[in-house]
Amino acid sequence: MVRSKVPALFPLKLVSRRMLAPTVAHLVFTRADGLPLDFIPGQFLQVHFTYADGTPTRRSYSLATIHDHAMGPGEAVEIAVSYVPGGAATALFENLPIGGTVQASGPFGRFCLQPGDDNRRYLLVGTGTGVTPYRAMLPLLERAMAARGVEAVLLFGARSPEELLYGDEFRAFAEAHPGFRFMPCFSRVLPEPGSAQDHPDVRHGYVQQFLDELAPSPSGDIAYLCGNPDMVDACFEALKGHGLPVPRIRREKYVSSK
């Protein structure tokens, strides 16, 4: 008999919710069972629920918590959820009251910085909520930059400045760390000249258009690609074209498990 593997579930209680962009919510949970949720930045959780007809389903969400120490009980478990029209998980999260709980499992995934990396630069590429793993990684990047002088460039694709999730945090991190460059790529609307988001590193277009400008190096770079599957595929092909070996191109595609 084939048994499907049921992961261990734990309850997450919603503590707060704020909108990061018109259709993206930043949700803060704590584990309601009092246990810690330790994870490696870049990993994701799964949220388990049922459709209206009772059929079980699940959706994945990258952990956005800025992670700089082993997580203890009661610490914030943060995710950024993109609300999509007609989405089942969207309805679950939109209607969840503060204090309400969801069932989760994890953490899962290997979209993480590797302790043995010997590269000169990380090319971090994300669109939409695909930028959240990089937020979680900031303390590890800071440590790697200090320890071995590695640099990092974050190419973040958004349609408009109001959709640039955590943009202020990434800009502040770039200002504080000369080895970190933040390049927001706006496909539709650019920031107002002279506004807080206006910066010489802002680009107009899709992230994949600006890889050439960064002159990817097969021996010096390790790339991370996260978010929209078409973007991940386009960047993967472009980086292979620059000679990057496949193991040095790490990918996380945000596909719906519907």
For ligand FAD, the binding residues (CB under 6 A) are: 44, 59-62, 79-82, 84, 86-90, 129, 132, 252, 254-256, 258
CB of 106 to ligand FAD, least distance (A): 10
Nearest residue (beta carbon) to ligand FAD: 87
Smaller CB distance to ligand FAD: residue 159 or 199? 159
Q: Which is nearer to ligand FAD, 151 or 252 (CB)?
A: 252
Nearest to ligand FAD of 221, 252 (CB atom): 252
44 or 236, CB closer to ligand FAD? 44
Can you tell me the distance from the alpha carbon of 241 to that of 225, in angstroms, rounded to the nearest whole number? 15
Which phi and psi angles does 97 have, rounded to 5°? -75, 160
Work out how close the CB of 241 gets to ligand FAD at its nearest, in angstroms, rounded to a whole number. Answer: 25
Residues in the chain: 258
Q: How far is the CB of 146 from ligand FAD (least distance, A)?
A: 28
Q: Edge to edge, what strands does the sheet with 101-108 contain? A: 56-62, 44-50, 101-108, 10-21, 24-31, 77-82
**Which residue reads 């719906």 in tokens?**
256
Residue 172 Cβ vs ligand FAD, minimum distance, rounded to whole Å: 22
3-state secondary structure 176-212: HCCCEEEEEEECCCCCCCCCCCCCCCCEECCHHHHCH
Closer residue to ligand FAD in complex, CB, 195/256: 256
d(CA 222, CA 146): 18
Whichever of 24 and 71 has its CB closer to ligand FAD, that residue is 24
Distance between CA atoms of residues 11 and 100, nearest Å: 10
Q: Cα(232)–Cα(254) distance, rounded to whole angstroms?
A: 9
For ligand FAD, give the closer residue by CB, 27 or 123: 27
Least distance in Å: CB of 153 to ligand FAD?
21
Q: How far is the CB of 242 from ligand FAD (least distance, A)?
A: 25
CB of 212 to ligand FAD, least distance (A): 27
- Identify the three-state secondary structure at position 154: strand
Which residue is it, tokens 């090319």?
123
Please provide the distance, in angstroms rounded to a whole number, between the alpha carbons at the two ends of the chain: 25
